[in-house]
């Protein structure tokens, strides 16, 4: 069987801990030929988020909070069955899990700071607005008979 391509990096130096990934294979409803009913190509990848030591505590809290709806007993699971080969589905599942965790552990966006609009810009906007309304007023149908 081909080698799994490297550690799946979540962000920075943190990657999915190979040892903590639980793989389950089952028959896929995806594409396939006569061979499809006998081969376990669907992949389910589970990762125990609640008990992992692989993530920095802050990330872990964030992830647990954000992924709460999809966790079952602290475990997050990802499925893949698009491909006919189990190996490619494994790749898909691992990549999916890594990007899911990357998203869930991302730092919250910086709060938006309100800045004052320079007076000149505001005045220019009002001037343009006035001009526009004049233009439109001039369009009312007088003298167009």
Helices (DSSP H) in the chain: which residue ranges? Answer: 57-66, 86-105, 119-137
The average confidence (pLDDT) of the chain is 80
CB 66 within 8 A of CB 35: no
How far apart, in whole angstroms, are the C-alpha atoms of residue 62 and residue 67? 8
Residues 90-100: tens digit of each pLDDT: 888 888 888 88
Among 57, 62, 53, 47, residue whose Cα is nearest residue 94: 47
Q: What is the pLDDT of residue 119?
A: 93
- State if pTM tops 0.95: no
For the chain, first and last CA: distance in Å? Answer: 84
Among 88, 70, 76, residue whose Cα is nearest residue 47: 76
CB 44 within 8 A of CB 75: no
Confidence of residue 145 (pLDDT cuts 50, 70, 90): low
């Amino acid at each position: 069987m081909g080698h799994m391509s490297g550690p799946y990096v979540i962000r920075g130096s943190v990657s999915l801990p190979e040892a903590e990934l639980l793989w389950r294979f089952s028959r896929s409803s995806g594409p396939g030929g006569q061979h499809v009913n006998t081969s376990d190509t669907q992949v389910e990848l589970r990762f125990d988020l609640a008990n992992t030591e692989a993530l920095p505590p802050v990330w872990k809290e964030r992830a647990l909070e954000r992924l709460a709806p999809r966790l079952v007993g602290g475990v997050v699971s990802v499925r893949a069955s698009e491909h006919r080969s189990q190996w490619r589905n494994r790749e898909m599942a691992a990549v999916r899990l890594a990007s899911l965790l990357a998203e869930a552990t991302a730092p919250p966006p910086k709060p938006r700071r309100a800045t004052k609009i320079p007076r000149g810009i505001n005045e220019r906007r009002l001037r343009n607005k006035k001009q526009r309304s004049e233009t439109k007023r001039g369009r009312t149908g007088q003298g167009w008979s």
